[in-house]
Amino acid sequence: MSEHRDYRAGFRTQREEIEDKQLPTTGEFPDWLSGDLIGNGPGQFEAGDTGLRHWFDPFAMLRRFRIDNGEVRYANKFVQSRDYAFAQDHGGVRTPFPGTPPDRSVWTRLRQVLDGTFPDNPVIGIQRFGDEFAAVTESPTALTFDPDTLETTGRIDLTAGLDCDLTLAHVHYDPVAEEFINLGVSYGRNTVYTVFKRPRDGGTPTPLSRLQFDEAPYIHSFAVTGQHVVVTVNAYGLDTTQLLKGTVTKETFLDAFQPLSTPLRFVILDRSTGEHVATASASPAFIYHHANAFERDGELVVDVVAFDDDRAVTGLALSNLRSDDPDLPRGDLCRYTVPLSGGEATREPLHRGPVEFPVINYRAVNGTPHRYVYLAETDGASSLPTDITKVDVDTGTAHRWRESGTHPGEPLFVPAPEAENEDDGVLLSVVLDPEADRSRLVCLNAETLGELGRAELPHRLPFGFHGQFYGPVAPGRSMA
């Protein structure tokens, strides 16, 4: 416990913004590594005097690392969303956040429901639409920004051309077809998820399939293979009646989140036509993130981080994450084998957690058989990861990188030029050092997990969520 007594630093506000600064480095970043690592995540955990309640609530802060010729330049800036502006100007919460109700009159809250007003605080990840970069979350809106200055430049309606209320933050990118695949969701008498494709330049989307559910399951991400889209439907979701009543009682998404009377389901669609191929089920589980999926002899192999119950969501309340003895939900790296004929899917543990943020060599193996999955792993004594772990799914072996008293973030894989093996490349991770009250960018050899170089930030960053690396070697998406 003593080693990680300061993990709360990952859940504290950092208001300092840096325009552009060269960072001191030690070791060596590879000469071939050139481009921008752009990450997203919490920056401010309060709205005036209102303390935000859930890890998904804080205001988004971009962080950019520009790597070239072994040098690293850094910038960070808050995304200028309407939610953030309202908090700065009025000291309150504008729209219903996942765990924090709005500081508005009951009539305003009712109007927001009737108008379909969703938060525009894009705290989850990064997408690129042609030449435009955007911060995203589960919302109808993406906010564009300048990758040089990180200034917020505009808004994109992600639901334009679609019959849905919002879209997911985790999309897939096909570099051959130069198009994205994503899901939109509509809540109403029935819940409908729309699978759609969108051109790389962010143009008009093309709906592929509509999946209708009597209940309101929560879906955070999905998988694609060469021939199929795999929509993993969680056995947990929303009591929409309670959520609607919460407009008056000031209950939130978190209060309405519950187990559903359904199993975990894998809905398999034809990737070209959107036609339904099969649905398979398994014991109830909750899944945020997929590592990968691929086809094999009349079945699909789907590797995910799976949680056993709804504490995967409810357990991320900031009161729990900041506590002296946090009750951390445990996610395990698991493999589901899903028959293409439907029926029952089987589950096989690959690596016991707590683990999260699964990453593969996306450009090389997404949708095809893979050998390695990189994860952020937690030793159980803190709320934040303590290790970067490489799991060999063929042999079952695992290797770890750890620096005592620090907390590494998502390990983003960047492939080496002309790579011959799946793990030829580097991992980039933003590591929080609470004792030093600083963060650092660490570059690891993806094959050995040996450290190659590090760059020291001038301040501490709150623990982030997802990022992407954009450069000549990896010009597109680097993780799902």
Whether residue 48 is contained in a domain is answered as yes
The CATH number that applies at residue 160 is 2.130.10
List the single range of 115-124, 297-306, 371-380, 416-425 with lowest mean pLDDT.
115-124
H helix intervals, 168-251: 240-249
Whether residue 216 is contained in a domain is answered as yes
Burial letters for 75-105: b for 16+ Cβ neighbours within 10 Å, e otherwise? bbbbbbbbbbebbeeeeebbbbbbbbbbbbe
Q: Which one of 188-192, 307-311, 372-376 scores highest in mean pLDDT?
A: 372-376
Q: Which residues constitute the domain of residue 25?
A: 2-470
> Would you call 64 helix, strand, or coil by DSSP?
strand
- Each residue's pLDDT tens digit, 189-244: 889 999 999 998 888 999 999 999 999 999 999 999 999 999 999 999 988 787 77
Q: What percent of the chain has pLDDT over 70?
A: 97
Residue 246 pLDDT greater than 90, yes or no: no
Whether residue 478 is contained in a domain is answered as no
pLDDT at res. 3: 46
Whether residue 475 is contained in a domain is answered as no
- The mean predicted confidence, pLDDT, of the chain is 93
- Each residue's pLDDT tens digit, 279-291: 999 999 999 999 9
Whether residue 110 is contained in a domain is answered as yes
List the single range of 128-142, 247-261, 312-326 with lowest mean pLDDT.
247-261
Q: How far is CA 52 from the centre of its chain?
A: 19
Whether residue 193 is contained in a domain is answered as yes
pLDDT at res. 480: 61
- Each residue's pLDDT tens digit, 456-476: 999 999 999 999 999 886 555
> What proportions of the chain, in percent to the nearest 5, are helix, strand and coil?
10, 45, 45
Residue with the bigger pLDDT between 479 and 406: it is: 406
Q: Which long-range contacts (CB under 8 A, 24 or more apart) does 438-443 make?
A: 441/23, 441/37, 441/65, 441/72, 441/74, 442/403, 442/408, 443/27, 443/29, 443/30, 443/33
Residue 1 pLDDT greater than 50, yes or no: no
pLDDT at res. 474: 58
Q: 3: which 2 tokens?
A: 């080693």
Q: Domain tally for the chain?
A: 1
Whether residue 480 is contained in a domain is answered as no
* pLDDT tier for residue 105 given thresholds of 50, 70 and 90: confident
Whether residue 285 is contained in a domain is answered as yes
